[in-house]
Amino acid sequence: MSTTTTQAPTSPASPSTPATAPRSPGGIRRAARLFNPLIMRLAGTRVFPLYAVLEHRGRRSGRVFRTPVVARPQADGFIVPMPWGEGTDWFRNVRAAGGCRLKWNGRVYDLADPQVVDMAQAMATFGPFARTFASRFGVRQAVHLRFAVAH
């Protein structure tokens, strides 16, 4: 089977930048490195309910990691946007383990069954600020994590 690769259309403002590229992903990454230590102090608390702390185990090292993420509760679990897609270490760890723990709004939840969903599908659960941020910066995917069933 052969595959054909086509180049993405470019935006008129910048001939070398694809029209569908998120704006300033390098800037977002730098800002994340700067603000993550502060966010980690507040994430998961009732003071800062937009953010949660996702606890996951390294798929190779076995070490426990904690990552600040945006999370929105659902009837059956949480939606977590993935600004950098499925290639992030935290998502790969969660997918390999089949679940994680999430501290949100002062409580800890065991979550399982990570399913990637289109961010457009998940947008309805977010407020106007988060929807604007997601569309402006090209967030295209989210992961739906369901409450783990106790055995």
pTM of the entire predicted model = 0.74
Model pLDDT, residue 121: 87
Model pLDDT, residue 55: 97
State how far the Cα of 118 lies from the Cα of 23, in Å rounded to an integer: 19
The boundaries of the domain holding residue 100 are: 46-147
Residues of the chain with pLDDT under 70: 1-29, 151
Nearest to 80 by CA among 148, 32, 145, 140: 145
Question: Looking at the 3D structure of the chain, how many domains does it have?
Answer: 1
16 φ, ψ (degrees, to nearest 5): -95, -5
Q: What CATH number did the domain enclosing 127 receive?
A: 2.30.110.10
For 87-131, how does the pLDDT look when each residue is reduced to its tens digit (9 = 90+)? Answer: 999 999 999 999 999 999 999 999 999 999 998 888 888 888 778
The reply to whether 28 falls in a domain is: no
